[in-house]
Structure formats: C-alpha cells, structure tokens
Amino acid sequence: MKKIVLCPNARRDGGYACTEQVRSMLEADGCRVVVSPVCDEGGPAAPFETDELESALEGADLLVTLGGDGTILRIAPQVMRHDAPLVGVNLGHTGFLTELDRENVALLRQAAAGRFTPVPRMMLDVEIRRNGQRMFFDTALNDAVISGIVQSVHLTALGDGDRILAFSGDGAIVSSPTGSTAYSMAAGGPLVEPGAEAIVLTPICAHMLAARSFVLGPERTVTIVPADVSDGRRCVLSVDGRGLTDLLDGDEVVVTKSKYRLLMADLGTRSFYETAFEKLGERE
C-alpha cells in the first residue's frame, strides 16, 4: 500500500475542500493517506485526523503540497532529509514550483502510482559567521537575500575568497537554479533550468553600471560581507522568505551547495520553458 502525505496550506485551501477531494480520491485507489497541514496557526481545525510532518514523512512514497510556492519553500528544509518525491498543487498565485492546478488534481493518481520522473533540485546552505563563529544556519531551495532596510547598503561579494563585486545598492541575492525564476529574475538575473547546478549572484539596484549578475559553478563558496552597518543603517538576511536576521559590520554570509536536495516528481505536464512563459504572462 502506497503512503501519500498531503500537506495543505490552511490559508489557501479554504475549509480543506481540495484536500478532502484528493484524500478521498487516493484512498479510493487503495492508498494510505496522511494529512499534515502547513500554516494552520490560528486557522480552523482540519475535519479529519492529522499528523506532524516529521513523523508523517517516515515511510512516505509521495508528498503532495496544496497551496503555492511558499508552502513548498516552508517545508523544504524538513522534506530534503527524506526520499519521498514532492509534487505541488497550486492554490495560490504564480506557482513556479507547483506542477498541478486545482483543475487537474486527478493527475495525482498517476503520481501515486509512481508514474513520474524524479528530479533532484539543488539547495543552498546559508550561514552567518561572526568573529569566526557560526551564529546562524539555514538551507534554501530558492535564495538567500541580503538587503538594506530603507537605506542602501555597501556589500562585498567574494567567490572562494576572491572579490567578485563591491558595490552600494539595495542588496544582493544568492540563488539556486530553482530560485532563478523568483526574486533574482525580478532583479535582472538569468533564468536557469531547475535541473542544472549553479549558484547565481545578482545585485539588487546597484549604484554602478558594472554590477551584473554572475552564474557561478556549484562548488563555489559565495561570501557576502556588509559594511557601514551603523548609525541607524540596517542590513538583514532572509532565507527563502522565512523571517529576517540582522547583520552587523564585518559579518560574513556564506553560501554553499548543500549536500541535501529536494526531490520533485515531474509528471511531464509542461516543460520548464512553457512554465516560464505561461507564468510570466508572455505566451497564451
């Protein structure tokens, strides 16, 4: 019996209607379905039994998120330590990471039967080093963003210790190929196929013409060092949008390829290029 874990975003799936539809459909096919809600703080209780994600993932054959890209980003650090492939149902807006929409959830029967291609997505380890000591660590599926609050910041970016750029501006984004279609793209960075391995460094509104996006090899160590963070200037780090961490003068934000990857289930519904043009509104 296949074990399928459903991770609905309670804020997107009102009344858990889509979750109940998928649960009933997969159980009718003989699957064991476990529901582990995401972002359910303060929301209505699920109308069925639920389980914590960490325990639900044990022995899981497939993980299904019902929400948007943010739902996947939120659970990615937990899921990456397990072998269960993930497929997303988009109940949100853009949905670059989600493959299915509410209208074609019936394709989850194909996924539950194992008819998909597993595609590993590269992830990034992000840490803050202060006076030689690690004081923060997280893993990103999309990106690490170093930015000023209200005012511009001065940043130096290094690759394996060699200076790449030093500039003032709104900040810098260090993204994975998956994250290249997110904030990095909006800041002028390139689109990179999600199955590729690379680290993308993109300045945000740099005050110099020579500041361009760099596509670096996956084995590079990218370090961002803020300066002049004083006298009311504030510089922060955000990893996949999960809160803000303040940086001090001389802190080092160190980004490397993670040993973990997020395994996605590709059902072959559309290519990366079709998704990019469709979601960007450039093609009917």
pTM: 0.92
Q: Which domains does the chain have, with CATH numbers?
A: 3-116+267-279 (3.40.50.10330), 123-260 (2.60.200.30)
Give the pLDDT score at 43.
63
Give the pLDDT score at 211.
86
**pLDDT tens, position by position, 209-231:** 878 999 999 999 999 999 988 76
Catalytic residue among 13, 61, 69, 266: 69
- b/e code 38-54 from CB counts within 10 Å (16+ = b): bbbeeeeebeeebeebe
Q: End-to-end CA distance of the chain, in Å?
A: 40
Per-residue CA distances from 32 to 55, 59, 173, 240 (Å): 14, 11, 41, 31
Is residue 69 part of the annotated active site? The answer reads: yes
Q: What's the average model confidence in pLDDT over 105-128? A: 96
Tokens for 22, please give them: 């998928």
**pLDDT tens, position by position, 228-255:** 887 678 999 999 999 999 999 999 999 9
Cα distance between residue 252 and residue 243, in whole Å: 18
**pLDDT tens, position by position, 148-176:** 988 899 999 999 999 999 999 999 999 99
- Counted residue by residue, the chain has a size of 284
